[in-house]
Amino acid sequence: MSKDDLIAENQALSAEVERLQYGLEEMQQLLRQLEKTYIESKGTFSVSRYGHLKTMIKNTSSDTILRKAKSLSESECTQAHETKRGMAGLLQKARQFAGEGEGAPAVNRKTSEEKRSGGSSIFKKIKNAAGFSDQPGDLHCLDKDDIRRDNERKKREIARLTSRGLKIYSRLNTLQQNYQASKVHAVPTRYQQLKDMIKGIIAEPV
């Protein structure tokens, strides 16, 4: 693999690490909010709390949330880094994640003025995630072995992060399934089941 290929791989891997870190932090915030809301609900009467418990679970395990969690349990980097085409696709996704490039959500796109005034670019995001300073040619100043070692380190980090993502996805998916299954029970029985579902998911470390 040429030095340019190693650099392109490094950039794609760095962007993927950042995507996973950002997404996992969102999931952690979601679970922290569930715990906070559950504790606060203890001060309400059972009749009112029953509805609150249902809302908590639905908000935490919706199809949209599950899709986000599932995307954190897998990474294209493990396959795509082997081909230039795969790396190009990852870099395009990285640009979209950073709010740049064709296909990026309009709300995230940077204006020319923002970019001139120091708005964050994809390469700044990549270098921050990689641990390099934001100076031109940082990666080019390193030799191939150093870049290759850093790439391997990033692959291990991606494996660790996707493992965490898989655990979160499994927990949320189980929560959704248990919620649906509980609908056949009478309110008194289901009320206790809903409490147990929430206590079970917030008791596990992320």
Distances (CA, A) of 139 to 49, 122, 147, 151: 56, 15, 7, 12
pLDDT of residue 138: 79
Residue 126 makes CB contacts below 8 A (sequence gap 6+) with 11, 14, 15, 18, 94
pLDDT of residue 77: 73
32 pLDDT band (50/70/90 cuts)? very high
pLDDT of residue 156: 95
3-state helix/strand/coil string of the chain = CCHHHHHHHHHHHHHHHHHHHHHHHHHHHHHHHHHHHHHHHCCCCHHHHHHHHHHHHHHHCCHHHHHHHHHCCCCCHHHHCCCHHHHHHHHHHHHHHCCCCCCCCHHHCCCHHHHHCCCCCHHHHHHHHHCCCCCCCHHHHCCHHHHHHHHHHHHHHHHHHHHHHHHHHHHHHHHHHHHHHHHHCCHHHHHHHHHHHHHHHHHCCC
Handedness of CA 130, 131, 135, 138 (dihedral sign): negative
pLDDT of residue 108: 42
End-to-end CA distance of the chain: 37
Percent of the chain with pLDDT over 90: 59
114 pLDDT band (50/70/90 cuts)? very low
Cβ count near 55 (within 10 Å) = 11
Residue 100 clears pLDDT 80, i.e. is over it:
no
Per-domain boundaries in the chain = 1-76+144-205
119 pLDDT band (50/70/90 cuts)? very low
With 0-12 / 13-18 / 19 or more C-beta atoms within 10 angstroms meaning exposed / middle / buried, residue 131 is exposed
C-alpha to C-alpha distance for 18 and 124, rounded to whole angstroms: 12
- For the segment 129-139, the average pLDDT, to the nearest whole number, is 49
139 pLDDT band (50/70/90 cuts)? confident
Summarize pLDDT for 165-184 with one digit per residue, the tens.
Answer: 999 999 999 999 999 999 99
